[in-house]
A and B are shown apart, each in its own frame.
Chain A
Amino acid sequence: TQLLEQSPQFLSIQEGENLTVYCNSSSVFSSLQWYRQEPGEGPVLLVTVVTGGEVKKLKRLTFQFGDARKDSSLHITAAQPGDTGLYLCAGGTSYGKLTFGQGTILTVHP
């Protein structure tokens, strides 16, 4: 069974701070996705990374896929209250079956 472990589970920071969320596995994934989910809504796809060592930037968000394709990180610069939510990493295997991490609940205080 492939597992993805996210850390930290909870993160509470002040507006303007930087943060990093980690996603680790002992298994190799074909791709790694990051989603953001707000209460009562479906996850929203932020990014897909497929190549080992790949780095993608989306405004203040930077995503990295590990060289061995077993881990990933999400870094947010100068966090804002609008960044508050549940962040989920998901590893892709055969036929698009996604294995999700348990998630990181981020709270950014004004």
Chain B
Amino acid sequence: DSGVTQTPKHLITATGQRVTLRCSPRSGDLSVYWYQQSLDQGLQFLIQYYNGEERAKGNILERFSAQQFPDLHSELNLSSLELGDSALYFCASSEVGRDYEQYFGPGTRLTVT
């Protein structure tokens, strides 16, 4: 158990819909990262937040957005969903000064039908 929690574990929704994925980092970690894992693209960095502020952006679509709240939990919002958005979405966290040592949550499996 990494100490990072994610909900829900599974999500099935229809094209065009909007969903919210939730992540709670390890106790004491200020940084939260979101990744998408699919069979064809592998594990791709989406976005990073540090203590409530966006810090780095990767291959995140405009239909996707994220935020980190004062209690440090983070949410990833996916809207206008397409079939190709079906994937595993992981959240990771790291402690201050050790950005590269990221601890991953169990993931949310999103299926868009």
A positions within 8 Å CB-CB of B:
30-31, 33, 35, 40-45, 48, 50, 88, 90, 92, 94-103
Contacts and interface: CB of A to CB of B under 8 A. Distances in A.
Interface stretch (B13-21, B67-75, B93-101): B93-101
Dominant secondary structure at the B interface: strand
Contacts of A98: 33, 45, 100, 102
Classify chain B's interface size: 20 to 34
A3 B92 CA distance: 21
A40 B105 CA distance: 11
A11 to B, nearest CB: 17
Interface of B: 2, 4, 31, 33, 42-45, 48, 50, 55-56, 58, 90, 92, 94, 99-107, 109
A31 B106 CA distance: 24
A39 B77 CA distance: 25
A103 B43 CA distance: 9
